[in-house]
Structure 1
Amino acid sequence: MDSTKTNTETTINMPESKSTKGKAMAYTAITNATPHRQGGWKRGVAIFDFILRICALVAALVATTTMGTTDQTLPFFTQFFQFQASYDDLPTFTFFVVANAIASGYLVLSLPFSIIGIVRPHAAGIKLLLLILDTVLVAFTAAAAASAAAIVYLAHNGNSTTNWLAICQQFTDFCQKVSGAVVASFIAAAIFIFLVVLSAVALRRH
């Protein structure tokens, strides 16, 4: 007689230890939480970037309007000569107004891109574009502010070697306004520098 042997396979289920379960759950929680933490950090940087751009816009607009409306006429004058000082008498001040006006226009146009950076904090292309343009505007506004500051210094102190008189002793209002405009422009340039550093850090941590 043929005997038939039936082979059966036995599967042994080993219970998973509590420590293994705990490690797996902790790893899953850390993995899931990491993108949220990174996104939250980048969103916070983008919000700060937006606030700084508004501050720079205010500073650039103040510099532009203050310098562009600076004009003073002394109360005493003769029939053939009148003492008057205006920003457009000096090409340096004219360049100052144009440079800060361009910076103001750029900041207005950059605000929508900054908002996109808040909505999409992981978008590196927008940050790189703003980083390049911000770097250009740093040089632009700093050059305008520095050149205007040199003229303001001469207006306050004069230069005895070249016989340049200190006109601020007579044109006090004119010098106060142009000095305030130069300070506002330096503030805008400093904010641009901070924006460049902030964008570079955000791209480095991307």
Structure 2
Amino acid sequence: MADSSTRAGETTINVPPHESKSTKSKNHAIYTSITKATDPPHVQPAGRGWRRGVGIFDFILRICALVAALAAATTMGTTDETLPFFTQFFQFQAEYDDLPTFTFFVVAHAIASGYLVLSLPFSIVGIVRPHARGLKLLLIISDTVVLTFITSAAAAAAAIVYLAHNGNSNTNWLAICQQFTNFCQRVSGAVVASFIAAVIFIFLVLLSAVALSRR
């Protein structure tokens, strides 16, 4: 706007200087840079990347445990050996289901394998939503139950395998592994795979416990 003033019968009109386009653009650039500098930075939730890495490691461990449990169940469940003594009508045969301990071993690891398959989608949800504490609590309880299940089966089978290899002179139990070599090798391998699965479950429980303890 133009300012007008009257002095001694004269009228004076003051016109403000014209602001050039370059000056306007410079002022706009300065204002924009100041606004961006004062805006609060975007802050991601604390520990989100770490929790997502824990979720990915949890998923990988579950796949490894599934492979070990399946190997233990299939190896034990397909173990049998027949000794060609005398004639085909008089033979010695050893199968896993001759001993209830080995039958329990197969059932326990079949259940553990099924559980691990069902837990994989929950593990994926834990990767997508790393702050879901209720899901981690459910997994740690279920993992502990299954860990107890397969550990008891592995320990019982290990005791039978030890007797098969060494026998017990106090109870007149003879070592049979000198005759049933293939049978003993397979059941021993199944027990080793079972303990590997148990160790992986221990890591799963510890991993979930650490993830729950850190906020």
Q: Same fold by TM (over 0.5)?
A: yes
Question: Which residue among 154, 160, 163 is the counterpart of 1:154?
Answer: 163
- 1:81 is displaced (CA, Å) by 3.3
Question: Which residue among 64, 86, 92 is the counterpart of 2:73?
Answer: 64
* More displaced stretch, 86-95 vs 75-84: 75-84
Question: Which residue among 103, 107, 110 is the counterpart of 2:119?
Answer: 110
- 1:80 is displaced (CA, Å) by 5.5
Question: Which residue among 122, 127, 152 is the counterpart of 2:131?
Answer: 122
Distance 2:86 2:145 in 1: 45
User: What letter corresponds to residue 133 of structure 1 in structure 2?
Assistant: S
- 1:79 is displaced (CA, Å) by 6.5
What is the TM-score normalised by the length of structure 2? 0.80
- 1:134 is displaced (CA, Å) by 0.2
**Across the two proteins, how many residue pairs are aligned to each other?**
180
Is the 1:63–1:180 contact (alpha carbons within 8 Å) kept by the matching residues of 2?
yes
Q: When you count helix as a share of all residues, which structure comes out higher?
A: 1
Q: In structure 2, list runs of 5 or more residues that go unmatched.
A: 1-33
Q: In structure 1, list runs of 5 or more residues that go unmatched.
A: 1-20
After TM superposition, the structure 1 = structure 2 runs for residues 10-29 of structure 1, keeping only pairs within 5 Å, are: 28-29=40-41
Distance 1:205 1:75 in 2: 61
Identity of aligned residues (%): 80
Root mean square deviation, CA, Å: 1.9
1:32 has 2:34 as partner = no
Bigger radius of gyration, 1 or 2?
2
Distance 1:75 1:50 in 2: 47
- 1:131 is aligned to 140
Distance 1:41 1:198 in 2: 12
Deviations 1:150-200 (A, max 9, x none): 000000000011111100000000000000000000000111111000000
Q: CA 1:92/1:38 → structure 2, altered by over 3 Å: closer, same or farther?
A: same
Distance 1:121 1:193 in 2: 21
Distance 1:79 1:44 in 2: 59
- 1:186 is aligned to 195
What is the TM-score normalised by the length of structure 1? 0.83
Distance 1:122 1:196 in 2: 17
Deviations 1:6-56 (A, max 9, x none): xxxxxxxxxxxxxxx9xx97xx55x814x1x51110000000000000000
Q: CA 1:77/1:109 → structure 2, altered by over 3 Å: closer, same or farther?
A: farther
